[in-house]
Structure 1
Amino acid sequence: MNLNLKNINYTSIFLFIIFLLFIFINYFIKSNLVYAGQVYSEIKKTDSSEQLFDSSETKIELLRSKIDDLSRKRNSILKEINRIEETLSFHLEIRNKKNPNTSERNSSFLKFQISFLKEKKSYLKKNLYEINLEQIDLEIKLRKKIYSLKK
């Protein structure tokens, strides 16, 4: 059995050595940083198992980021509700004018648009209510964490 070393590329050997080096280094490192949402958590490697290092400060930061995300969602839903209300008022004005030249098809389409906008508005209000409840719940959890840190 003869090995043909002329066909082996030196860059592939070099990359393979670097790959083995990374595996060797990662095996003996005792801690790693892991991206978890908007904060970095530290994983401490022990001989028996890997344990996630959760400090109260990272939990507080996570709660604050979730509250901020919910407030952004709430603001976008409020903007959408305002836009729907404007469109709905415009369609209601058109319907109330009762132009005799409008066809039955246009009036039925207008009725459909009005009912669709009303349903969408009620759905968005329901989502807004759920977001408000979730935000209040997270704020309560945040206050409890801050209070436990002060003790």
Structure 2
Amino acid sequence: MTSSTTTSFDLRAMAALLAQGRQLHALSLLLLAAALLLAALPAVAVATATSGALPLALSLVAGLLQCYYALRVDFDARLFQAASEDEDSARAAQRLDASLLALGLLKPGREGRDWPARWRGARGLMMRQAIALSVQTAAVVWAYGRVWA
């Protein structure tokens, strides 16, 4: 599919898919709270210091990485939604590139990508967000298992 055959519905559909990253982000925030709660409990402070510090640190790093990707995915979702309001998808891509260049968010020479290339990039960011969430989940489970074992 080229940008000349991309419809505003295609752009709205991609925006809707990327908007699902908000649920991943919400779950990540809950896991971050669980990790911080575990770290703050005085009863398990000694156990955490000796056996749970590594998984808690990994959870924190993965959670922060997930937050970064969540910001990027949400930004892309909003950009695709805004682009869908223009009936001419080629013109929408040009306007998007011009805006991103003006804001310093797109390196010169990267403009002109077709919509499928943009979608691959956005889905890649969402995949990285999901991977960071998976690592964070595993690390929290690992930390709770180490502390309560």
Normalising by the residue count of structure 2, what TM-score does the alignment of the two structures yield?
Answer: 0.48
Give the alignment's TM-score, normalised by structure 1.
Answer: 0.48
Which has the larger Rg? 1
Higher strand share: 1
